[in-house]
Chain A
C-alpha cells in the first residue's frame, strides 16, 4: 500500500495564480483532511471530509476549496494564490471511526511570490 500520496512535493506560484494540490489514499479511509504547517503555529486544519460528497471547514478555510467525489481522492484548490498561503501543506486520512490514527502524506511545500 502506498498510504497517503500528495503531489506535487514542491510548487512555486505567482500571486493570483490558481492550482490544485492532489491527495490520494489507498487505505479505504473515510476521513480525510488538509492541514497547513507554519513555523511556530503547528498544524492548522483547513478543510476536512467525513466521506465522499461531504466536506466541511476547519480553522483556516479562507482562500481554499475542496471536494470529495471519491473515497480515495481529496484535492485542495487554491483559487487565487496569495503570499500568505506560502506554507507546507499536509493531507491526512483516518479510518472513519472516532478517535483513530491519522496518517499523513509527505507534504507539499508551496511558495507564493
Chain B
C-alpha cells in the first residue's frame, strides 16, 4: 500500500523567513496531494492541494510543488508569521476514486518573533 514519508519532523524559523517541508510517496498511482494544518488542540484543516497533472500551485504565501518522477512534493511558506506555527501534514490519495488519504507523520513548525 501507499506510504508517505515527511521531513523534517520539527522546524524552527524566525518570523519573515521561509519554511520548506518535504514529502515522498511510494505509490506511483497516487494522483492527489493535499496539505493540512493542525493548530494546537484543533482539527486538521486543508490549506492547499495539488493534483498530479500540475507541477506547482500557489495561494498567497504558500505554494506546493510536485515532482512525479521522483515521487516528491513539497510545501513552501514564505514570509512566515507567528500564526503559521502549527503541525503540518502532507497526504497522498491512493488511486481508485475512494479518496483514501494516507498521511505523513507531520512537521511541527515554530515561527519565532
Taking Cβ atoms with an 8 Å cutoff, the residues of A that contact B are 31, 33, 35, 40-45, 48, 50, 56, 58-59, 90, 92, 94, 97-102, 104-107
A interface footprint on B53-92 (CB within 8 Å = 1, 0 otherwise): 0000000000000000000000000000000000001010
Flag if B6 contacts A107 (CB, 8 Å).
no
Size of the chain B interface, CB-CB below 8 angstroms:
27
A102 CB contact (under 8 Å) in B42, B96, B99, B104 = B99
Flag if A45 contacts B101 (CB, 8 Å).
yes
- In order of increasing CB-CB distance, the 8 nearest A-B pairs are A99-B32, A98-B97, A42-B105, A104-B43, A43-B103, A42-B103, A101-B46, A42-B106
Flag if B101 contacts A41 (CB, 8 Å).
no
Given A41-B105, A59-B1, A99-B31: A94 in contact with B44 (beta carbons within 8 A) = no
Flag if B103 contacts A44 (CB, 8 Å).
yes
B42: chain A residues within 8 A (beta carbon): 106
Given A40-B105, A44-B103: A102 in contact with B46 (beta carbons within 8 A) = yes
Bound: A106/B97 CA distance, A: 25
Bound: A56/B101 CA distance, A: 13
B28 beta carbon closer than 8 Å to chain A: no
Pairs across A and B, CB under 8 Å, 7 listed? A31-B98, A43-B103, A94-B99, A97-B97, A98-B96, A99-B31, A99-B99
